[in-house]
Chains A and B, each alone.
Chain A
Amino acid sequence: MKNNLVTSLVLLGGVLTFCCPSFAHHGSASYKTDKVVILKKATVTKFVWANPHTMLLFDVKDDKGNDSHWVGEAGSPSAVHALGWNKKSLQPGDVITVYLYPSKFGSNVGRIDRIVLADSTTLKDSPRTDLGVLSRY
């Protein structure tokens, strides 16, 4: 049985992480910032282009072939627009790879680090290239 859920856990041991309430509109206190989950062959179900954060709803097949529903958040539209996103960047049915920082509480929710589209275009949440640094927006 094919398992289409491919998850790589990258431990960012030794990376300096801070949570600063002074700068975050909505902070990252809910997320594990020392690990990134990579979800391949994710299918977009909805893309919400709105404040305070853009949101991506997508499904990933689990090892039993059932849809596992996920929600990821990224920066506000004005923030991610500056990084090349637009309200049509993601459409229902698109098959993508999602890198995100998962919830500390076990839910299928996370802060997106980047999305790789089928044509290899990368949509990033931050211009930073090092993992473990969340966007302040």
Chain B
Amino acid sequence: MRNLLKGSIVCLAGALLISSNSFAQSQNSPKPNYGGPEDLYQKLGDVGEGGAAPRRELTGFWAGMVAQKLNEVPAMTPWGLEQFHEHKTNGEYPVAESNDPQKSCDPLGFPRSMLFMTRGIAFTQMPGKVIEMFQFNRVWREIWTDGRELPKNVGGNSTDSPDPRWYGYSVGHWEGDYTFVVNTVGSDERTWLDNAGHPHSLGLHVEERFTRVSHNLLEVTITIDDPKAYTKPFVITKASFKWIPQQDFEEQFCVPSEEEEYQKLIGEPAAHGKNK
């Protein structure tokens, strides 16, 4: 009888092994040690300038990184910390135990949609507004440029108070010919600020400064101001996007039925050991 059961143990001495559990209580997650194939942003490499930046023009399809590099958040308020500790991320918890709203294909919302799954965004400009479209889930948001003010008292008790929106309310204007400034309020509190589970309140105010550096390059600086959740305003990221030569996105959706099958086949058994 041939015994095909083999055990070989290879020990690789040298580096330090750190438990991932030590991050569960930290406010800011360390860099991941994830691999994975290149996203389009990486594959495009050095796109060069492609010519001068057109004046007051963002229209087109842009490739971003699948997840932007985010700065550390400042100290949170007691309310912010309370929310943060209630958020169980996909990375820290088994998927079956996570309460990340993304798990059930809930809208990423804003500004999380600009901080994660930003592999593709597109703009189109029309009279009175700019439409920003997101590759992930093919959702869009309106950025009004007709001079209107941001709504006040979103989610208030008055009968004419605007309702919160998953993607908030946005207005925009040009500073000079190459920087488009967008301000957003009214983002639904059910969305997370980012993938690390940082929260935001309904009082969140986000400023995005899009700068058309050249024909092929677009940069954005995103500032968070949410006194209910954070002790001071902060720049959460400075991100760049590259012009997509074919001006097209592949389709990417979070599909509830596919998520359901995933939870049944993988999520639940992986977390609770019941598939044998």
Q: Which residues of A (58-109) have their CB < 8 Å from a CB of B?
A: 63, 68-69, 71, 73, 75, 78-80, 82-83, 103, 105-109
B261 touching A6, Cβ below 8 Å: no
CB < 8 Å: which of B6, B8, B91, B265 contacts A24?
Answer: B91
Interface flags, B22-35, vs A, CB<8A=1, else 0? 01000001111111
Q: How far is the CB of A44 from chain B (nearest CB, A)?
A: 14
Cα A109 to Cα B268 in complex, Å, equals: 10
From known contacts A22-B91, A29-B20, A109-B269, infer whether A52 and B254 are also in contact, taking CB-CB under 8 Å: yes
Interface of B is mostly: loop
Cα A75 to Cα B32 in complex, Å, equals: 16
Interface of A is mostly: loop
From known contacts A20-B29, A22-B194, A127-B35, infer whether A7 and B95 are also in contact, taking CB-CB under 8 Å: no
Cα A129 to Cα B37 in complex, Å, equals: 12
* A136 / chain B contacts, CB cutoff of 8 Å: 32, 34-36, 66-67
CB < 8 Å: which of A13, A23, A48, A126 contacts B32?
Answer: A23
B265 touching A11, Cβ below 8 Å: no
A5 touching B5, Cβ below 8 Å: yes
Interface flags, B246-268, vs A, CB<8A=1, else 0? 00001011110011011001110
* B89 / chain A contacts, CB cutoff of 8 Å: 21, 27
Most buried by B among A22, A27, A30: A22
Interface flags, A6-20, vs B, CB<8A=1, else 0? 111111111111111
B126 within 8 A of A: no
Q: Which of B11-19, B139-147, B209-217 contacts A (4 or more CB under 8 A)?
A: B11-19
Cα A54 to Cα B83 in complex, Å, equals: 32
A17 touching B33, Cβ below 8 Å: yes
Determine the residue in chain B with the shortest Cβ distance to A10: B10
Q: How many residues of B contact A (CB 8 A)?
A: 70
Cα A1 to Cα B5 in complex, Å, equals: 12
* A6 / chain B contacts, CB cutoff of 8 Å: 4-6
B36 touching A137, Cβ below 8 Å: yes
Cα A6 to Cα B262 in complex, Å, equals: 27
B195 touching A30, Cβ below 8 Å: no
* A103 / chain B contacts, CB cutoff of 8 Å: 269-271, 273
B94 touching A79, Cβ below 8 Å: no
A55 within 8 A of B: yes
* A79 / chain B contacts, CB cutoff of 8 Å: 36-37
From known contacts A20-B29, A48-B261, A107-B275, infer whether A134 and B34 are also in contact, taking CB-CB under 8 Å: yes
The 9 closest A-B pairs by CB, nearest first: A21-B91, A20-B32, A126-B35, A136-B34, A27-B91, A21-B89, A19-B20, A128-B35, A105-B273
CB-defined A-B contacts under 8 Å, sample of 13: A7-B7, A18-B33, A20-B32, A20-B33, A21-B90, A22-B29, A26-B262, A27-B93, A29-B94, A29-B95, A52-B258, A69-B276, A80-B37
Q: List residues of chain B with CB under 8 Å of any chain A CB.
A: 1-18, 20, 23, 29-38, 66-67, 70, 89-96, 98, 102-103, 116-117, 194-197, 250, 252-255, 258-259, 261-262, 265-267, 269-276
- Beyond contacts A15-B15, A16-B16, A23-B67: 12 other A-B pairs, Cβ-Cβ < 8 A, are A12-B12, A13-B17, A21-B89, A21-B196, A27-B93, A29-B93, A30-B94, A30-B96, A30-B267, A71-B269, A126-B37, A136-B36
